[in-house]
Structure 1
């Protein structure tokens, strides 16, 4: 019994020492990162960094956090940011944003008000901290600008996980309900007023292939480049308009796609009308599209719903055999820390 008591005491002392060493390392790591950003010319301030949760948790609380890039004029501030993890599983982190935070741009300040914004991240147990899986959830998020506009999203979930489809590939799913865009954007897009204020749903399920893995090193430098996108299902519903798509796209070094998507469009004539009103296509092309696609829809037996191949080649976008304009360019953002 005496040996058992001694063993328990030694284990308890050892675990306490591990926690205090680990918590101190966490505090130093956060403060060192803030200092690195300051040395790189950024504003990176916090009034306090505190790690609590003894004995089984490392919960890092960063108070009065302010991050700003003077060169771009972008900034973010929050009264508190939390990073939560189990002390015996430090490669799984839960991040919790505060209910109120502020994003500033060169032109405006945007208040972000939410019921919840959180994320769960699991890294592989290696020095590079390669991403294994990631899930972020948003609940009742409101954006309020000092430029007299606001936006709202009822709920959204973004999930990403490493897959064995190729060396650097990830399954990505996004599902959003009740997205209300800013009224001026909606008015500019929908000049005829045929759409309601709110998107019913937007969802995407895809496998994304990159030229490198997502890890600590990639986020600190240049982000991995997207090389291929396999879309299992994509769907957007806005009022009476509905789009669904599947297909595969290869992305070249300049970010232009090559490949095909099979697209189903409900109330497609209204989509052509909106595209013409916004200047995406001219009146002549709109008439040609309506005539040609109308024939396809009639042969299929449903004049309101259209199933067509959307193809991308030579930096051009085509619906069936009809070119409709330049292909979109997917640009890789860069992080310069």
Structure 2
């Protein structure tokens, strides 16, 4: 009998814990939704809680997100935001197989066979972000009324983990079998590349001027440093990898050097000339220089991509102004 009463007591305590957690989740979601509506950045027809006993779950009917200035709008029939009952600060998001996306006035259908994401928050007043993950499968972006995708990918994965260093995150990401719209490379670059990228992978660390949190922040943290362990590209048998470190100035421009390596450097030189990045008259000299450097590295050409004083250069070739990686 004592075991029965003990079991009932535990069940009652857990039920109270679940009801309190669910009420807090619903209240927070309602406040966030109210703020998004006021700013014209989001909406939803209904919020409904559930998931007892295994999880805290919030179902949103017809959610919408938008950025009027950037010109995009996203909507879906429904999404579910949930957290395991025993880990309430581990938030998961499950998306439906079909969503709607508007970019620059053009409407698209965004589809996937799997679309999930998660955030892990720390137990502190500002709810520091300790990790994040996204997983997508069989992604396709189709113009409204079209059966053919404009953009597709077989797999997209991304993971961010807070390291022991302050406000520093380890990033790993990968994307495979990316299909671009037919003729993209010919139209945009005039380059002899197919409209399919086999794989792109990234391993890096990102240091910010403040940690990301689940609490409201007046402004997003500024990127201070990027440590690129490896960025690897496989495009129709042409490989390319990069590594290095960059510091980001107060104006958002990079300072530092990225080392680029490739065994297919002759192909990339031809592509750079076809795209207009390198003048054709420089090709013989650069080919001779590349051969000299590569013969001492097993046929692999290693060349620095340098950013200094707002300018960029690839080896001895000036590329012009350095990009702005983050606007302040």
Within 2, Cα distance between the matches of 1:102 and 1:154?
A: 19
Q: Which residue of 2 aligns with 1:114?
A: 112
**Cα deviation 1:198-218 (Å, max 9, x = unaligned):** 111100101111111011246
Superposition deviation, residue 71 in structure 1: 4.3
- Give the one of 278, 289, 292 matched to 2:289: 292
RMSD: 2.3
Within 2, Cα distance between the matches of 1:31 and 1:103?
A: 24
**Cα deviation 1:233-278 (Å, max 9, x = unaligned):** 1100101321111111111111222222221123222222222332
Within 1, Cα distance between the matches of 2:319 and 2:65?
A: 42
Q: Which residue of 2 aligns with 1:330?
A: 325
Superposition deviation, residue 288 in structure 1: 4.2
Q: How many residues align?
A: 326
Q: Which residue of 1 aligns with 2:227?
A: 230
Matched, 1:96 2:94: yes
Within 1, Cα distance between the matches of 2:116 and 2:42?
A: 22
Within 1, Cα distance between the matches of 2:32 and 2:43?
A: 11
Give the 3 Å change call, closer, same or farther, for CA 144–22 of structure 1 in structure 2.
same
Give the 3 Å change call, closer, same or farther, for CA 20–266 of structure 1 in structure 2.
same
Q: Give yes or no for contact 2:36–2:43 (8 Å, CA) kept in 1.
A: no
Q: Which residue of 1 aligns with 2:163?
A: 163
Q: Which residue of 1 aligns with 2:27?
A: 28
Give the 3 Å change call, closer, same or farther, for CA 206–200 of structure 1 in structure 2.
same
Structure 2: state its 5+ residue gaps.
none
**Cα deviation 1:152-189 (Å, max 9, x = unaligned):** 1010210100011x311110011111111222433324
Counting only pairs closer than 5 Å after superposition, residues 110-149 of structure 1 correspond to structure 2 as 110-146=108-144
Within 1, Cα distance between the matches of 2:271 and 2:24?
A: 56
Matched, 1:200 2:195: no
Q: Which residue of 2 aligns with 1:242?
A: 239
Matched, 1:309 2:304: yes
Superposition deviation, residue 24 in structure 1: 2.4
Matched, 1:319 2:318: no
Q: Give yes or no for contact 1:108–1:147 (8 Å, CA) kept in 2.
A: no
Deviates more, 1:45-54 or 1:5-14: 5-14
Within 2, Cα distance between the matches of 1:246 and 1:135?
A: 23
SS of 1:276's partner is helix
Give the 3 Å change call, closer, same or farther, for CA 233–72 of structure 1 in structure 2.
closer
Q: TM-score, normalised by structure 1?
A: 0.88
Structure 1: state its 5+ residue gaps.
none
